Amino acid sequence: MTKGRFSGKKVVVTGAGGFIGSHLAERLVAEGAQVRALLRYTSRAEKGCLDLVAAEKLREMEVVHGDVRDLEVVREVMGGSQVVFHLAALVGIPYSYVHPQEVIETNVLGTANVLLAARESERIERVVLTSTSEVYGSARYVPMDEQHPLQAQSPYAASKIASDALGMSFYRSFETPVAIVRPFNCYGPRQSARAIISTVICQALRGDEVRVGSLTSTRDFTFVADTAQGFLRVAEAEGALGEPVNLGSGTEISVGGVIETVGRLLKRELRATVEEQRLRPKASEVTRLYADSRRAREVAGWEPTVPLEEGLRQTIDWISAHPDLYEPEVYAV
């Protein structure tokens, strides 16, 4: 790839071991950035999804282990950087039912630490915070633009609403150059079975029965390469400062529709089974998400390019090639 706008820039990616974070860090290396990747510490110094990145690209990253809840760690990691992409978070909605305090501390305090460190720095040109379409809750109107009311239907969603508000407050109060990316449901290679598309595919590759929660809830699925591109375009767009920017495909499909489409691509008829443990509390289930991404097009020049079926094909191929990373019989929270 031709070296881009980030060539030579000192860039931090927190949560670089995650699904989107690993794709973003890889893309930044390809654009010529000097990437420092912050990963959560484990005794085995695990790199998460970065272990699935080509070795030559991983060697070009500086990998640092720590915790975004520790302000000193964040200060050290961000020292000398010009651009920060903050993706570190606990993102599982079912996990937020089980461990809400950990989710709140990681997502809210982690964001506060990134903002505090950015405010102290004289070199920071842009801080890109990662939001989520879950902050909107179930659609009150469609397509859903950035003015859609915010509805915390899970502890995870509440933590991200708070994170977004902190970001906007630092922009307004201290002129910290904050932009907020609000991805709708991202999917693709490397994603864990915690997400619906990966869990459908990994089960479908082992048999004809697919166990899920709600079949009727709809989502706006966006391929990970498009989402990563959106992060980069928002990071360089002056018009994106201080307000959230949706990244969605502008189409919606139900969970049942995903199962049907995956079955068609696999040339098999899949049988969907609703499993009680996978159902969310009734008032917490987000029943419809459908993005209006006009602002991303207008201020950042971003549009998705990968149609759902093509993205599903690529995801099926990747999961087929990495069966050891998935346990279809286990419900991953």
Residue 19 has which token pair? 């699904």
Share of the chain above pLDDT 90, in %: 96
Average pLDDT over residues 69-81: 98
Average pLDDT for the chain: 97
DSSP string, 244-297: EEEE--S--EEHHHHHHHHHHHHTS--EEEE-GGGPPPTTT---B--B--HHHH
The pLDDT tens digits of the residues spanning 35-59 come to: 999 999 988 889 999 999 999 999 9
CATH T-level topology, domain 10-253+278-325: Rossmann fold (3.40.50)
Residue 298 has which token pair? 């207008």
C-beta of residue 230 within 8 angstroms of C-beta of residue 296: yes
Average pLDDT over residues 173-193: 98
Distance CA 304, CA 317 (A): 21
C-beta of residue 149 within 8 angstroms of C-beta of residue 280: no
The pLDDT tens digits of the residues spanning 270-309 come to: 999 999 999 999 999 999 999 999 999 999 999 999 999 9
Question: Does the pLDDT of residue 257 top 60, yes or no?
Answer: yes
Distance CA 15, CA 244 (A): 20
* pTM of the model as a whole: 0.97
Question: Does the pLDDT of residue 3 top 70, yes or no?
Answer: no
The pLDDT tens digits of the residues spanning 196-250 come to: 999 999 999 999 999 999 999 999 999 999 999 999 999 999 999 999 999 999 9
Question: Does the pLDDT of residue 2 top 80, yes or no?
Answer: no
Pick 293 or 329 by higher pLDDT.
Answer: 293
Distance CA 38, CA 112 (A): 16
Beta carbons within 10 angstroms of residue 43's beta carbon: 5
**pLDDT at site 34:** 98
Question: Does the pLDDT of residue 111 top 80, yes or no?
Answer: yes
**pLDDT at site 5:** 86
For residue 163, give Cα distances in angstroms to 63, 120, 212, 217: 25, 19, 30, 26
Query: Which run of H or of E encompasses 128?
Result: strand 126-130
Q: What are phi and psi of 226, to 5 degrees?
A: -65, -40
Burial 249-265 (b: 16+ CB within 10 A, else e): bbbbbbbbebbebbbee
**pLDDT at site 244:** 98
Share of the chain above pLDDT 70, in %: 99
Question: Does the pLDDT of residue 1 top 80, yes or no?
Answer: no
Q: Where are the domains positioned within the chain?
A: 10-253+278-325
**pLDDT at site 43:** 87
